[in-house]
Amino acid sequence: DAFLNLKLGSWHSPRLCTPKTNVMFLKTHKTASCTILNLLYRFGEKHNLTFALPKGYHFDYPNFFNSRSVKGFWWQNGQHYNMMSSHMRFNRPEVQSVMPADTFYISILRHPVSLAESSFNYFHFLAPAFKHSPSFEDFIANPWKYYIPYLRFNHLARNMLWFDLGFDHNAEFSLQSAQSVVAEIQQTFHFILLADYFDQSMVLLRDALCWSLDDVVTFRHNARTNAKPKCLSPAQEEQLKKWNALDWYLYQSFNKTFWEKVERFGKRRMDKEVAILQARREELQNLCLLKEGKPPKVKQSLGQGVQRCQTGYVTMMKHTLNSNLSISDKELCSRMIREEYEPVFYPSFMDEAPCQGCPQLGPYQ
């Protein structure tokens, strides 16, 4: 059925809604956010949209977002952008001063247990708490031995999503305050995606934005190749949830609303659209990528400066294009594999690389 629809090109049929072009994506860490960035850049490029870009590498992360960190922004000019999508610590009034009033706000969460594992590996040398723990297991067993609250970058080791969304990641958990934070997020963000249900998220996103299905087809970006599945015990998982109690509450809340949305969308319809999305991804992977979606490993190292999305402390998957592509397929495929801040593929709306002139170091240096 999915393949039949695929062949008939049903997702190209005209929609009875107007595609949204003003989108703010709060790019949280280790949540498939580079993959989302890829689709936003592609959509922006296709529709000639403007992006609010940081003056440096990030919007002054981990400090709160300030409109002064947007390249070329001068609030007195009353200028606005269509899209904003780099890492930041969210600050609603400042973001609203840069983005138009009808902006569609989205962000993405991931289950705190797998998020912690990804974060421990990726940010091992950046978060002091991780750096000083001999192993992930040691950290889980006794995080307070390694964690000093409010030490710069230690938020990457505890309630990182809560922090990125602009709240105090060291606050004691209380149901009342957690509920009020969730309510505030719900007031600001129109849709919270879940990395753990990426394809379902894409189907809902496409529906909410009135985009085409091809607009939300992506390859997986920024994945580790050396990620051995960690066999954590149920007790260790519980410890991690307790340690990240604010993020765990956040995740549970938005997981619940996510599945309510799926219910409203229709489960059968969801299954069908997910199947079409997956079939299209496979088709594009077969067309574009060497060895059908099994890209060769590339050891990233600090100082390369190109793929700034990647710190170099872990081995990342690097997509490699098939060599015999036609000119038009090559253009399509190049866009599909474009990483965050890859100057070679800078679209026209990025007149210069945001990192030009920056020291060739990894993130946050």
Ligand X SMILES: Nc1ncnc2c1ncn2[C@@H]1O[C@H](COP(=O)(O)OS(=O)(=O)O)[C@@H](OP(=O)(O)O)[C@H]1O
User: 70 pairs with which residues across the strands?
Assistant: 54
Q: At what angle do helices 33-46 and 327-336 cross, to 10 degrees?
A: 140
Smallest separation (angstroms) from ligand X to the CB of 224: 4
What are the residues whose beta carbons fall under 8 Å from the beta carbon of 209, sequence distance 6 or more? 19, 20, 23, 104
Q: Looking at 2-10, 223-231, 257-265, 330-338, which segment touches ligand X (CB under 6 A)? A: 223-231
Give the separation between CA 279 and CA 58, rounded to whole angstroms: 35
Coil, strand or helix at 27:
strand
Q: Looking at 32-40, 70-78, 163-171, 271-279, which segment touches ligand X (CB under 6 A)? A: 32-40
Smallest separation (angstroms) from ligand X to the CB of 201: 9
Smallest separation (angstroms) from ligand X to the CB of 240: 14
Q: Residue 230 interacts with ligand X (CB under 6 A)?
A: no
Judged by CB under 6 A, the number of residues near ligand X is 18
Give the separation between CA 98 and CA 65, rounded to whole angstroms: 11
Of residues 2, 227, 274, 355, which one binds ligand X by CB under 6 A? 227
Q: Omega into 359 within 30° of 0, i.e. cis?
A: no
Of residues 34, 116, 126, 232, which one binds ligand X by CB under 6 A? 34
Smallest separation (angstroms) from ligand X to the CB of 183: 25
Of residues 89, 158, 221, 280, which one binds ligand X by CB under 6 A? 221
The 182-201 site mask, x for binding ligand X (CB under 6 A), equals: -------------x--x---
Name the token pair of 356. 């030009």
Name the token pair of 88. 């930041």
* Rg value, the chain, Cα: 20
For ligand X, the closer of residues 113 and 309 by Cβ is 309
Of residues 21, 22, 31, 154, which one binds ligand X by CB under 6 A? 31
Name the residue with tokens 């600090």: 302
Q: Looking at 31-39, 131-139, 236-244, 343-351, which segment touches ligand X (CB under 6 A)? A: 31-39
Give the separation between CA 190 and CA 346, rounded to whole angstroms: 29
Q: Residue 158 interacts with ligand X (CB under 6 A)?
A: no
Smallest separation (angstroms) from ligand X to the CB of 78: 32
Q: Residue 53 interacts with ligand X (CB under 6 A)?
A: no
Smallest separation (angstroms) from ligand X to the CB of 198: 4
For ligand X, the closer of residues 227 and 302 by Cβ is 227
Cβ count within 10 A of residue 301: 11
Give the separation between CA 234 and CA 9, rounded to whole angstroms: 45
Interface with ligand X in residues 83-142 (CB under 6 A):
118, 122
Of residues 21, 25, 26, 30, which one binds ligand X by CB under 6 A? 30
For ligand X, the closer of residues 21 and 122 by Cβ is 122
For ligand X, the closer of residues 83 and 178 by Cβ is 83
Question: Shortest CA distance to 122 belongs to which of 241, 293, 300?
Answer: 300
For ligand X, the closer of residues 147 and 198 by Cβ is 198
Identity of the amino acid at 261: K
Do the bridges between strand 83-84 and strand 51-52 make them parallel or antiparallel, or are there none, so unpaired?
parallel
Q: Residue 203 interacts with ligand X (CB under 6 A)?
A: no
Give the separation between CA 186 and CA 257, rounded to whole angstroms: 10
For ligand X, the closer of residues 181 and 202 by Cβ is 202
For ligand X, the closer of residues 122 and 167 by Cβ is 122
Coil, strand or helix at 108:
strand
Give the separation between CA 105 and CA 115, rounded to whole angstroms: 22
CB 70 within 8 A of CB 53: yes
Of residues 21, 33, 67, 200, which one binds ligand X by CB under 6 A? 33
Give the separation between CA 220 and CA 31, rounded to whole angstroms: 11
Residues at the interface with ligand X (CB under 6 A):
29-35, 118, 122, 195, 198, 220-224, 227, 309
